[in-house]
C-alpha cells in the first residue's frame, strides 16, 4: 500500500501500547537457569599468584598459575572484567588489532 499523506495518521496510543520488547514464550519448568555473571575488579598478588575478586560488596580469593600473564592482560582491558563463579572463569576483553570491542580471553582460576 503506497504512502498517502492525506490519510489520517495512526493515533499515538496505538504506538504507545505496543510492547517495547518482543515477547518470548516462558521457559518450561526445570529448564537450565542462565549462568551467574558478575562484574568484578581483580587484584593480583604477583608473588603468590593469588587473585582477589571484588564484586557486589564481597570478595573471593582464587589462585592462578601464571600471575604475570594475567597482569599483562589486565593492563590492556577495554571492558569490565566478568567472573563466572560456577565455572571459575574470569573473562577479560583486551585491546587487539582487528577486534573492535576487544579480544576476549578466558582465565580459569583455581
Measured between alpha carbons, how far is 58 from 74 in angstroms, rounded to an integer? 20
* Domain assignment of residue 56, given as a range: 27-108
Is residue 104 a part of any domain in this protein?
Answer: yes
**pLDDT of 75 higher than 50:** yes
Check whether 78 has a pLDDT greater than 60.
yes
Q: State residue 16 phi and psi, 5-degree precision.
A: -70, -30
Domain-embedded: residue 5: no
Report d(CA 25, CA 85) in Å as an integer: 28
How much is the pTM? 0.66
Q: In this structure, is residue 58 part of a structural domain?
A: yes
Is the pLDDT at 19 greater than 60? The verdict is: no
Q: How far is Cα 68 from Cα 55, in angstroms, rounded to an integer? A: 22
- Split at pLDDT 50, 70, 90, the class of 6 is low
Among 94, 75, 50, 16, smallest CA distance to 103 is for: 94
pLDDT of 25 strictly over 70: no
pLDDT beyond 50 at 36: yes
Q: Is the dihedral of CA 61, 65, 70, 72 positive or negative?
A: positive
Number of domains in the chain: 1
Amino acid at each position: 500500500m503506497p504512502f498517502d499523506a492525506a490519510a489520517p495518521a495512526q493515533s499515538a496510543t496505538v504506538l504507545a501500547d505496543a510492547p517495547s520488547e518482543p515477547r518470548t514464550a516462558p521457559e518450561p519448568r526445570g529448564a537450565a537457569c542462565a549462568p551467574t555473571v558478575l562484574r568484578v575488579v581483580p587484584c593480583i598478588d604477583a608473588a603468590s599468584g593469588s587473585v582477589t575478586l571484588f564484586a557486589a560488596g564481597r570478595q573471593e580469593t582464587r589462585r592462578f598459575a601464571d600471575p604475570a600473564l594475567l597482569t599483562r592482560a589486565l593492563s590492556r582491558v577495554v571492558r569490565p572484567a566478568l567472573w563466572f563463579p560456577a565455572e571459575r572463569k574470569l573473562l577479560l576483553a583486551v585491546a587487539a588489532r582487528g577486534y573492535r570491542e576487544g579480544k576476549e580471553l578466558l582465565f580459569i582460576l583455581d
